[in-house]
């Protein structure tokens, strides 16, 4: 039986490939979905990838992941920096949470340097482009094997 992993993405990430390519790269959102799904298959993980620009929708997905005790790879995007609602939903998770940022948030504008989500995450990957998602899935697969 494969482990359930949700890869959840916040606002504007559906615009990957056309949004600030100097910061976020040229990989499209469809390519990111394909990367996560294929990596999941290789690792024996049941990966579901979702993106929303609606905070309440992300909260619902996090609540469902908590109820299922599923692992989560989360790029909260702008919500990282100020959404206590997203942070509190993440704190309810019973499976591991890996926070991922495509860009290095610590090398950008000062308001991006802090994430309210990081304090409740199992780990944080930032600045490695979309490869951060692949690394997060590898970590979760290894974590599952060690449990």
Instruction: Tell me if 88 is assigned to a ligand binding site.
Output: yes
Instruction: Tell me if 28 is assigned to a ligand binding site.
Output: no
Active-site positions read 24, 101
Instruction: Tell me if 75 is assigned to a ligand binding site.
Output: yes
Query: What does the angle CA 15 – CA 133 – CA 105 come to, to the nearest 5 degrees?
Result: 70
Instruction: Tell me if 103 is assigned to a ligand binding site.
Output: yes
Instruction: Tell me if 102 is assigned to a ligand binding site.
Output: yes
Instruction: Tell me if 139 is assigned to a ligand binding site.
Output: no
Annotated binding site for substrate: 75, 81, 88, 102-103, 112
Q: Which residues are annotated as a binding site?
A: 75, 81, 88, 102-103, 112
């Amino acid at each position: 039986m494969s482990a359930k992993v949700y890869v959840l993405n916040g606002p504007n990430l559906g615009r990957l490939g056309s949004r600030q390519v100097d910061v976020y790269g040229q990989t499209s959102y469809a390519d990111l979905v394909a990367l996560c799904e294929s990596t999941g298959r290789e690792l024996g993980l049941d990966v579901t990838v979702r993106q929303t620009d609606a905070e309440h929708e992300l909260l619902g997905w996090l609540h469902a992941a908590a109820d299922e005790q599923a692992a989560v790879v989360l790029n909260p995007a702008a919500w990282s920096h100020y959404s206590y609602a997203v942070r509190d939903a993440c704190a309810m998770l019973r499976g591991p949470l890996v926070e991922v940022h495509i860009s290095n948030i610590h090398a950008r504008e000062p308001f991006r340097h802090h994430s309210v989500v990081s304090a409740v995450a199992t780990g944080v990957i930032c600045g490695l482009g979309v490869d951060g998602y692949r690394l997060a899935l590898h970590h979760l697969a290894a974590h599952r094997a060690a449990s």
